[in-house]
């Protein structure tokens, strides 16, 4: 790897680390934000949902724009939006301003798929998987920092300072990116499909709002159906229209490539699993005995921290393994390890240490799924379609991530028990998720892992081998 590529990789890793840190640090602050603005749980939930929904929508759109106008240009534009929105969030005068700032921050989420496309363009094939492993691993260490460091900042200084600090870091990285991130020179000459952009954005936005509001409104309430039905209509029209337009936003023909289709299906399932895992553990660790472990929010975050740090260490190793054995066996092993992790959470979760060890197993399995999925998309697509391809995969994984909490909260609301505690000379009864609820959540996780194992059997395997002459040989099976 030459110096220019190394500098670019460092910037891309740092930005991905920052995004994962900021988006996780918000989670511990949500109750305090609700208190500061005297708002409802439903409204404050949009502090996280706004970022997720906008980020999901813009990933394929900005990916396509990167293919058309250059990935560097769109990457920097996304970073400018993100930096501006972070400083806005820190000075929010009310909850609506904060939600708007978080929505603009969602435009910055496109930096993640664009960074994966950039490194695919600038690095030799045998180094791509390792670099992707490092960037994917930033999700681990960024999450750990957000849960622990972010919780301390929120608690001791206030959530506003968490955004102030993130703004300073964002500004420094923006100047570094302007100087160091290169233009890859791979562009696609085409017109912009405004109808496709509009219908895709409208459809995905409505569907994601429907999913995020399910716990409040119900699956088939009039409010929910008013989102679901037009969302499905928009997406149905998008699928019909894209097959007929000359320059589609997403060329559906790319889904005919076996590994692209497999990676997107596996990405959807993996998105469901990761949020089911996180939500199940976070809720279980904070519920009082005997329903959970009775930990405070920082201690609960610490139970997840070791597993996320392990992800950052193991990510590059898995990247190198993909070059040697290909993605197929790694996805299969990852599915089996995920099954073991979820099973351990069913039978072995009596103490915080038990949960920590179980989570390490589960997150290792998840990492064995995430890195091959991204690599399969990068390797299987032509350079001029990588941006939109990785962006589409990110969108699909985000949809899975929106479904995961819906499944988790639905199960927890369906299987509950009474918690009795003394209060002011009498007794107070609180209804909480039961042990059966968490057993079922983790059982669903096992089912998702079995599905991914079956899907892994359809992967067309490949390997990259570098000869002493630095000639790269691609072996496909």
Least confident among 10-14, 48-52, 167-171, 465-469: 465-469
Give the mean pLDDT of 301-308: 74
Work out the average pLDDT over 103-132. Answer: 77
Confidence class of residue 402 from pLDDT cuts 50, 70 and 90? low
* Domain limits for position 363: 3-192+247-476
Residue 213 lies in a domain: no
Contact residues for 180 (Cβ-Cβ < 8 A; gap 6+): 4, 7, 8, 11
Confidence label for 420 from pLDDT (cuts 50, 70 and 90): low
How many domains does one find in the chain? 1
Domain with 291 in it: what CATH number?
A: 1.20.1250.20
Nearest-CA neighbor of 112 among 441, 390, 412? 390
Q: What's the confidence (pLDDT) of residue 224?
A: 76
Does 322 score more than 50 pLDDT?
yes
Percent of the chain exceeding pLDDT 90 equals: 6
Q: What does the alpha-carbon distance between residue 243 and residue 406 come to, in Å, rounded to a whole number?
A: 32
Q: What share of the chain is helix, strand, coil (3-state, %, to 5)?
A: 80, 5, 15
C-alpha separations of 178 from 47, 73, 135, 137, 437 in Å: 29, 9, 19, 24, 49
pTM of the entire structure? 0.73
In a domain, 85, yes or no: yes
Q: Please list, in sequence order, all residues whose beta carbon lies within 8 angstroms of the beta carbon of residue 464, skipping any fewer than 6 positions away.
A: 125, 126, 129, 322, 323, 472, 473, 474, 475
Task: Show the tokens assigned to 215.
Answer: 């716990």
Confidence of residue 187 (pLDDT cuts 50, 70, 90): low
285 pLDDT more than 80: yes
Give tens-digit pLDDT for 208-224: 777 666 656 666 778 77
Reported as a pLDDT band with limits 50, 70 and 90, residue 411 is: confident
Residues in the chain, total? 477
pLDDT band at 339 (very low <50, low <70, confident <90, very high): very high
Domain membership of residue 353 (yes or no) is yes
Are 416 and 431 in contact by the 8 Å Cβ rule? The answer is yes
Q: What is the pLDDT of residues 28-61, one digit of tens each?
A: 677 677 778 887 666 777 777 778 777 777 777 7
Higher-pLDDT residue of 379 and 188 is: 379
Collapse the DSSP code of 466 into the 3-class scheme (helix H, G, I; strand E, B; otherwise coil) and give the result. strand
pLDDT at 469: 40
Tell me, yes or no, whether 205 lies in a domain.
no
User: To 10 degrees, the CA torsion angle through 358, 362, 364, 370?
Assistant: -160
Within-domain flag for 7: yes
pLDDT at 468 over 50: no
pLDDT tens, residue by residue, 342-359: 999 999 988 889 988 998
Residue 154, in any domain of the structure: yes
Structure tokens, 166: 């993130």
Lowest mean pLDDT among 163-177, 186-200, 293-307: 186-200
Q: CA-to-CA distance for 244 and 242, rounded, in angstroms?
A: 5
- Domain assignment of residue 218, yes or no: no
Average pLDDT over residues 264-285: 80
Q: Which of 43-52, 139-148, 153-162, 268-277 has the lowest mean pLDDT?
A: 139-148
**Does 237 map to a domain?**
no
For residue 471, pLDDT beyond 50: no
**pLDDT average, residue stretch 318-343:** 88
């Amino acid at each position: 790897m030459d110096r220019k590529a190394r500098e670019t990789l460092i910037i891309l890793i740092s930005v991905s680390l920052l995004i994962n840190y900021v988006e996780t640090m918000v989670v511990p602050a949500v109750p305090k934000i609700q208190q500061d603005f005297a708002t409802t749980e439903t409204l404050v939930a949009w502090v996280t949902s706004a970022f997720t929904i906008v980020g999901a929508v813009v990933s394929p759109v900005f990916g396509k724009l990167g293919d058309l106008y250059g990935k560097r240009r769109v990457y920097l534009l996304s970073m400018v939006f993100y930096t501006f929105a972070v400083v806005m969030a820190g000075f929010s005068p009310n909850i609506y301003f904060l939600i708007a700032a978080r929505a603009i921050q969602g435009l910055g989420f496109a930096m993640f798929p664009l960074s994966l496309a950039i490194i695919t363009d600038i690095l030799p094939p045998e180094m791509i998987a390792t670099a992707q492993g490092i960037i994917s691993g930033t999700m681990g260490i960024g999450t750990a920092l957000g849960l622990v460091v972010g919780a301390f900042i929120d608690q001791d200084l206030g959530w506003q300072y968490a955004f102030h600090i993130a703004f300073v870091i964002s500004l420094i990285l923006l100047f570094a990116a302007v100087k160091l991130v290169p233009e890859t020179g791979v562009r696609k000459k085409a017109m912009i499909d405004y109808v496709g952009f509009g219908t895709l954005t409208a459809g995905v936005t409505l569907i994601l709002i429907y999913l995020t509001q399910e716990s409040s409104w119900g699956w088939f309430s009039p409010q929910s159906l008013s989102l679901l039905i037009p969302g499905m209509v928009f997406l149905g029209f998008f699928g019909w229209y894209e097959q007929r337009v000359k320059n589609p936003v997403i060329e559906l023909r790319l889904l005919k490539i076996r590994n692209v289709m497999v990676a997107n299906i596996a990405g959807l399932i993996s998105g469901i699993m990761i949020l089911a895992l996180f939500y199940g553990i976070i809720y279980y660790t904070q519920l009082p005995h005997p329903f959970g472990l009775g930990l405070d929010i920082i201690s609960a975050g610490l139970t997840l921290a070791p597993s996320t740090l392990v992800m950052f260490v193991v990510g590059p190793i898995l990247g190198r393994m993909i070059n040697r054995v290909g993605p197929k066996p790694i996805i299969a092993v990852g599915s089996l390890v995920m099954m073991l992790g979820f099973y351990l959470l069913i039978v072995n979760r009596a103490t915080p240490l038990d949960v920590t060890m179980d989570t390490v197993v589960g997150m290792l399995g998840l990492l064995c799924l995430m890195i091959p999925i991204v690599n399969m998309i990068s390797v299987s697509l032509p350079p001029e379609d990588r941006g939109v391809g990785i962006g589409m995969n990110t969108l699909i994984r985000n949809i899975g991530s929106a479904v995961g909490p819906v499944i988790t909260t639905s199960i927890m609301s369906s299987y509950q028990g009474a918690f009795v505690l003394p209060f002011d000379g009498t007794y107070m009864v609180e209804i909480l998720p039961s042990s059966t609820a968490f057993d079922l959540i983790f059982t669903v996780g096992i089912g998702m892992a079995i599905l991914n194992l079956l899907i892994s059997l359809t992967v067309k395997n490949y390997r990259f081998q570098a000869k002493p002459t630095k000639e790269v040989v691609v072996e496909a099976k």
